[in-house]
Amino acid sequence: MNDRLISDELVKAVGQQVIETLPWASDVVSFELQDDFQFLLVSVECDPALAHTLEQRRHLGHVIDDMMPTRDGELTWMLNFMMHGEVMDSYFGGDASMPELGF
């Protein structure tokens, strides 16, 4: 079993950052720890009536990327923006060997 890479405190901090960046997302953000706590999936269900821009979504991806630990050759996080259950935008990172992957 691997050591836990992603702590509950980190998940909470990521959640706070999502809500700080997108205040409307407080009730529509979810988190899923995968791969023995080595990968965090963040999903935000978007309402087309709510204002959010590509720049806001990309900025949030970069903020999360700065917060997350890295691994060589493996991702540690993904941020999905969903609409009606479908992914409409996605950012990911955490691979130390390819830091710009996912943007």
What's the confidence (pLDDT) of residue 69? 97
d(CA 21, CA 60) in angstroms, rounded, equals: 7
Query: What are the residue boundaries of the structural domains of the chain, listed by start?
Result: 8-93
What's the confidence (pLDDT) of residue 100? 86
What's the confidence (pLDDT) of residue 51? 64
Per-residue confidence of the chain (103 residues) as pLDDT tens digits?
A: 568 999 999 999 999 999 999 988 889 999 999 999 999 999 999 987 776 788 889 999 999 999 999 999 999 999 999 998 899 999 999 999 998 888 8
State whether CATH 1.20.272 applies to domain 8-93.
no
What's the confidence (pLDDT) of residue 94? 96
Q: Tokens at residue 40, please?
A: 């965090």
Helix (H, G, I), strand (E, B) or coil at 80: strand
Bridge partners of 81, per DSSP, are: 44, 89
Torsion of CA 83, 86, 88, 93, to 10 degrees: 120
